[in-house]
Amino acid sequence: MLTDYHVHLRPDGENTPAAEYFTEANAERYRETAADRGIQELGVAEHIYRFTAALDVWQHPLWVENAHDDIDRYCEFVRERTDLKLGIEADFIPGKDDRMRSLLEARDWDYVVGSIHFLAEGALDYDRFDVWNSARSADHVWKTYFTWLGELAASGLFDIMAHPDLVKHWGKERPWPDKDLRFYYDLAMEQIAESGIAIELSTAGLRKPVGEIYPDRAFLEMVVDAGNPIALSSDAHTPEQLGFEYEQAMELLSDVGVTEIAVFENRSVTLEPIGPS
């Protein structure tokens, strides 16, 4: 079994209206490319901030600019006009978890992917609103990020932890901590272990300035020791990006002793042996 669950039906940004991308023809393009690459379990996880309902949770300027679509029409489209699994990529925003919970629990997802893209107003993977403009030290930014990551796991809002060390997105283009990175991972690890949340192995980092898989091998070893399931995704925003560099991902998983991946349906998880169909 190979999965790609953290998949977007359109690129980020302006000029990607739902009417153009939430179509049977577009879903079919994704399905065909996935089949060519041996990926039989395919699901979508649109960014929650592209839906107007997200503004009930948070009003970050980026969300206000991007919230145009109706979340229930998205769910209806995926369920009724495609054979894809239905997911969503939702942000963990401390202090807003009650509102996020109401939004998420009102819909019948196959899985919810939980992300941290912002530390307060500062963005981790976007040069507008860049968190690094705050002049905080790398130590402070990394500590905050991994503390929140533990809270994300403990919140129980999410089935899959997305791109677990996204804080490294810019690589050496931004300040980098001096400490052994396991110091930061440890800040989240107890809550991750207790929650049982599936941890995403995302090849998207290979397309980003850092040029590495998310998460780092040491982080992966820690969650494997803790017994968390592993979910495999590319964070594709186009059909061409599906299953990107999965050979590298499978090699890494095999190196750390992972032989099974997480498969989701109606928010419950089963484990299946890894490999292309």
Q: Which residues bind Zn ion (CB under 5 A)?
A: 89, 115, 235
Identify which of residues 41 and 235 has a Cβ nearer to Zn ion in the complex. 235
CB of 165 to Zn ion, least distance (A): 12
Greatest alpha-carbon pair distance for the chain in Å reads: 50
Tokens of 255: 């190196």
Identify which of residues 41 and 46 has a Cβ nearer to Zn ion in the complex. 46
CB of 179 to Zn ion, least distance (A): 25
Identify which of residues 61 and 275 has a Cβ nearer to Zn ion in the complex. 61
End-to-end, the C-alpha distance of the chain in Å comes to 6
Spatial distance between the Cα atoms of 89 and 116, rounded to a whole number of angstroms: 10
Identify which of residues 7 and 103 has a Cβ nearer to Zn ion in the complex. 7
Residue 227: closest CA among 268, 271, 180 = 271
Sign of the Cα pseudo-torsion (201, 211, 67, 30, in order) = negative
CB of 160 to Zn ion, least distance (A): 11
Strand partners, 220: none
CB of 201 to Zn ion, least distance (A): 14
The phi and psi torsions of 29 (rounded to 5 degrees) equal: -60, -40
Provide the CA 72 distance to its chain's centre, in angstroms. Answer: 21
CB of 114 to Zn ion, least distance (A): 10
Question: Per 3-state DSSP, what percentage of the chain is helix, strand, and coil (rounded to 5)?
Answer: 45, 20, 35
CB of 204 to Zn ion, least distance (A): 7
- Could you identify the residue written with the tokens 């990529």? 89
Identify which of residues 10 and 143 has a Cβ nearer to Zn ion in the complex. 10
Angle at 275 between CA 202 and CA 39, to 5 degrees: 65
Identify which of residues 89 and 159 has a Cβ nearer to Zn ion in the complex. 89
Identify which of residues 139 and 212 has a Cβ nearer to Zn ion in the complex. 212
CB of 59 to Zn ion, least distance (A): 19
- Could you identify the residue written with the tokens 């992917």? 113
